[in-house]
Amino acid sequence: MSNSNNEWRSAKLSTGTTIIAVRYDGGVVIGSDSRASMGGVYVSSRVINKVVQVHDRIFCCMSGSLADAQAVTNAVIHKLNFHSMQMGEPPLVQSAASIMREFCYNHRDELSAGFIVAGWDRKRGPQVFEVSLGGMVVEQEFTIGGSGSTYIYGYVDAKFKPGMTREECLTFTTNALSLAMDRDNVSGGVVHLAVVTESGAERQLIPGNKLPTFHRI
């Protein structure tokens, strides 16, 4: 077999996704696409749920290497549960983001994964944090991530406004993900959403054929 036929074995594989979270008065909406890809050519799974519940009212979204992201998420779930038992009360959203930041920073040379942490707690209500590849934490009103985010910065900057309602945030999130999935070849599948409030978490799934269409070729 020629060397050219074996190039894919040693080639660096790019990964892709689109993740988003937005805060409103009373809760947060967090969502992602569901495609797991390798190198922008191979789709390894069409139905990965990248919106992971790390505690009762705290969720995270994963981007980058799926193996790295899942390993960090599992470690954070374990450590956050232990932290909650020590404190004798539910953890803070900021605590979850800080634990995730610690893992990302301590293993920054080995990991290729970024996260969004969002949820509700008794102390500060709804919160959204971005945890970068190197372990930096930034709290924001809304944030986007993954390869698909590069296609929707204009949309989210134009459409986001402070004080949006729950339904407006759901529309904002769904439209942004739909636009990214339409343009980014490594984002796709269905849309996974979670709405987190004081009363708990509600999951939603929107199939690809139910997503909004903004143009037709």
| Catalytic residue ranges | 17
Q: Phi, psi at residue 159, to the nearest 5°?
A: -95, -25
Cα dihedral 89→52→59→113 (10° resolution):
110
Q: What sections of 88-120 are H helices per DSSP?
A: 93-106
Q: How far apart are CA 55 and CA 80, in angstroms?
A: 8
Q: How far apart are CA 99 and CA 80, in angstroms?
A: 8
Q: Give Cβ neighbours of residue 112 (< 8 Å, ≥ 6 apart).
A: 15, 64, 65, 68, 133
Q: Which token pair is 22? A: 């937005």
Q: How many CB atoms lie within 10 A of CB 84?
A: 17
Q: The dihedral of CA 23, 147, 45, 102: what is its sign? A: negative
